[in-house]
Amino acid sequence: MADVKKYGFVIDPRRCIDCRACLVACRAEWNTPEGQTRIWVHTDGPHGTFPNVAQTWVPAQCHHCETPWCVEACPTGATFKREDGLVLIDSEACIGCGLCVNACPYQVRFRNKETGKADKCSGCYTRVDRGEMPACVATCVGGARLFGDFNDPASTVSQAIKGQTVYRPISENVNTGPMTYYLAPPDAAQVQVTPQPREDLSAEVFWRRWAIPFVKLAVGVTFVGQAGAFILQLLRGENEYEDGAV
Amino acid sequence: MSDEIISLEQRNALQRQTLVKHHLANILTHWFNVAMWLLLLPTGAGILLNKVYPASNSAWNNLLRSLFGGTAPLIFWHGVWGQVWLAVLVFNVLIGFRKYFLSFASTRMLLDRDDIRWLMIKPWHMVGLRKHVPLPPQDAYNAGQKLYSYVIVIGTFFIGLTGMIMVYSEHIPTTWQWVIQWAMPIHFLAVGITFAGVIIHVYMGAIFPEERQAFFSMFSGKVNGLYAYLHHRKWYLHKMAERGAWEAQYRQKYREPEVAEPPAPSRATGD
């Protein structure tokens, strides 16, 4: 077993019966405000006509990406990636600007309406640190949600995907290295977890394209200008009676 | 500075003369500002951590996070110091609005015709050209210092406003989240532009020989007459007139009572 862990999820939509016990467990664990949730069970069915009707449910949550765009977007460092792979939010450091919410291609982040801070699935890191499973995984009666260390070949998740056809929710334009593997999801349900490319907010564009280069230029030019003037001053010397300087 | 010839004797006499340029309140406010900038600028730069906004070096970010014990305490103390800074400035402005702020703004910040001419000539002088064209006389602050004061006042306003938005961002509803999103780049821009001005201010105020008197005046409150005469002629003449008026008034108030004329000796009459 490797020393460094690499946590992630395995989801088997075939085993999900949409009981939503996971949503209840998550809310109970993290006290998420009513009307907001950290995890979802997506569906786009039912498909077909009676009596040949089918419906698939696709559990989803933050994928704790290997190269998370939310971490890159966060201006304060409130969103960060732990060594074990979990992407977390330091609520005390978060100013609730929502840049990370906009940056996430899976739209699994939201601004908590009670705290005013960014919120999302934390992988139940407090439970994981105690050696327990995340609340949603521990509650899932059908075993549709699995969690574990992908660096450990004997872990539940490593065993679950071994020799299986898996779907990783990436697209042609977006590959953030999501640490969620779906076991044989039907095509229709894939749409629910396929990432969408982000569109930069106007404030971000202004900051990156205009404010930062302008400030760099202004500070750089004045600093170089004053440094040059100082060197010139040293070369010229000073006159006691000339300027009233003494 | 004009091309007027001033003899060495006159220069020495002027150098011995002292004029009060800053009162204690100005001096304390100035150094309080300096202290706050020294606390706020490094911590503010330390907060900006990520690759998309490479405004500050990651080693600096890591060092400050280690010193403060993490991101949250760093942001907390930056916010606390920022609010202390603003509270003192707002208190100063509100309490001294008519007596101090308005009179300062109207007498020391407004640009007049001489200032505009000064701004047109000074850049040439700075690069060593058109030295034969004399600079028009300046008031207590020259036109460059007046422009800098606008940068400071406007910059401080935006830094304070956007800083307060970020400190109390959790109370802003999500539908108004754009206010927080815009507060960040505006805060950054206002700090950056003001800091560029501070670089010039520090050099011109503390190192540049012609204005070094201004640096020492930020401790003593006083400048010598030669500096005032050469660089702030209008202000110097105004101060001299003010002194003359005060002295006349003083003499008028405390002049010795006129000695009564002794009564004219009456002619002795005798029979």
- DSSP secondary-structure letter at A167? E
> Is A154 inside any structural domain?
yes
Do A126 and A28 share a structural domain?
yes
> Is A20 inside any structural domain?
yes
> Is A1 inside any structural domain?
no
Does A203 contact B185 at a Cβ distance shorter than 8 Å? yes
Do A222 and A121 share a structural domain?
no
Question: A203 vs chain B: nearest CA distance in angstroms?
Answer: 5
Do A153 and A97 share a structural domain?
yes
Do A169 and A214 share a structural domain?
no
Do A187 and A96 share a structural domain?
yes
Helix, strand, coil percent values for chain B (each to nearest 5): 75, 0, 25
* Cα separation, B112 vs B16, whole angstroms: 30
CB A185 within 8 A of CB A167: yes
Q: How big is the CA angle at A117 (ends A179 and B155), to the nearest 5 degrees?
A: 120
- Chain B hits for A246, CB-CB cut-off 8 Å, are 15
Do A177 and A57 share a structural domain?
yes
Contacts 24+ apart (CB under 8 A), A196-199: A196/A105, A196/A107, A196/A171, A197/A105, A197/A171, A197/A173, A198/A69, A198/A102, A198/A103, A198/A104, A198/A105, A199/A102
Domain final residue pick, A177, A193, A209: A193
Question: B98 vs chain A: nearest CA distance in angstroms?
Answer: 33
Residue B208: pLDDT over 70: yes
Does A207 contact B196 at a Cβ distance shorter than 8 Å? no
- In angstroms and rounded to an integer, the radius of gyration of the C-alpha atoms of chain B is 27
> Which of A115, A117, A203 has the CB atom closest to B178's CB atom?
A203
Do A43 and A13 share a structural domain?
yes
Whether residue A244 lies within 8 A of chain B, CB to CB, comes out as: yes
Do A204 and A189 share a structural domain?
no
Whether residue A233 lies within 8 A of chain B, CB to CB, comes out as: yes
> Is A54 inside any structural domain?
yes
Q: CA torsion, points B111, B112, B115, B121, in degrees to nearest 10?
A: 130
CB A17 within 8 A of CB A142: yes
Of these ranges, A4-8, A238-242, B6-10, B222-226, the one predicted with the greatest mean pLDDT is A4-8
Sign of the dihedral defined by the CA atoms of residues A100, A144, A175, A187, in that order:
negative
Q: How big is the CA angle at B209 (ends B205 and B210), to the nearest 5 degrees?
A: 80
> Closest chain B residue to A205 measured between Cα atoms?
B185
Mutate to test the interface with A, among B8, B168, B170 (most CBs of A within 10 A): B170
Q: Residue A61's Cα: distance from chain center in Å? A: 10
Question: B88 vs chain A: nearest CA distance in angstroms?
Answer: 24
Does A73 contact B52 at a Cβ distance shorter than 8 Å? yes
Residue A228: pLDDT over 70: yes
Domain final residue pick, A193, A221, A236: A193
Tokens 């409130």 correspond to what residue? A78
The closest of A106, A14, A124, A4 to A58, measured between CA atoms, is A14
* Segment B126-150 mean pLDDT: 87
Does B75 contact A93 at a Cβ distance shorter than 8 Å? yes
Q: How big is the CA angle at B224 (ends B221 and B225), to the nearest 5 degrees?
A: 130
Pairing of strands B222-224, A145-149: unpaired
- Chain A hits for B202, CB-CB cut-off 8 Å, are 226
- The more confidently predicted of residues B270 and A166 is A166
> Is A220 inside any structural domain?
yes
Do A149 and A213 share a structural domain?
no
CB B114 within 8 A of CB B136: yes
Residues 146-175 of A with CB under 8 A from B: none
Tokens found for residue B47? 């907060």
> Is A2 inside any structural domain?
no
Give whole-number Cα distances, B200 to A229, A237, B21, B197, B204, in Å. 10, 20, 21, 5, 6
> Which of B51, B192, B207 has the CB atom closest to A215's CB atom?
B192
State the pLDDT at residue B269. 45
Does B210 contact A245 at a Cβ distance shorter than 8 Å? yes
* Cα separation, A195 vs A55, whole angstroms: 22
In the predicted model, what is the mean pLDDT of chain B?
86
* Segment B165-180 mean pLDDT: 95
* Segment A228-241 mean pLDDT: 79
State the pLDDT at residue A246. 43
Whether residue A214 lies within 8 A of chain B, CB to CB, comes out as: yes
Q: Please write the tens of the pLDDT for every residue from B54-100.
A: 655 678 888 999 999 999 999 999 999 999 999 999 988 888 766 76
Residue A89: pLDDT over 90: yes
- DSSP secondary-structure letter at B171? G
Q: Count CB pairs under 8 A between chains A and B.
A: 157
Task: Look up the pTM and report it.
Answer: 0.86
Residue A147: pLDDT over 50: yes
Does A76 contact B61 at a Cβ distance shorter than 8 Å? no
> How many structural domains are present in chain A?
2
Do A153 and A218 share a structural domain?
no
State the pLDDT at residue B110. 86
Q: How many CA atoms lie within 13 A of A193 on its CB side?
A: 28
Whether residue A95 lies within 8 A of chain B, CB to CB, comes out as: yes
What is the ipTM for the molecules in this complex?
A: 0.89
* Cα separation, A183 vs B38, whole angstroms: 56
> Is A222 inside any structural domain?
yes
* Cα separation, B188 vs B52, whole angstroms: 14
In the predicted model, what is the mean pLDDT of chain A?
91
Do A225 and A112 share a structural domain?
no
Quick count: other Cβ atoms within 10 Å of Cβ A64? 26
Q: What element of type H or E holds A58?
A: strand A57-60
Report the CATH number at residue A134.
3.30.70.20
| A166 phi/psi in degrees, rounded to 5 | -115, 155
| Domain residue limits at A117 | 7-193
State the pLDDT at residue B119. 92
Does A215 contact B188 at a Cβ distance shorter than 8 Å? yes
> Is A95 inside any structural domain?
yes
Helix axes B177-202, B143-167, angle to 10 degrees: 150
Do A229 and A142 share a structural domain?
no
Does A214 contact B189 at a Cβ distance shorter than 8 Å? yes
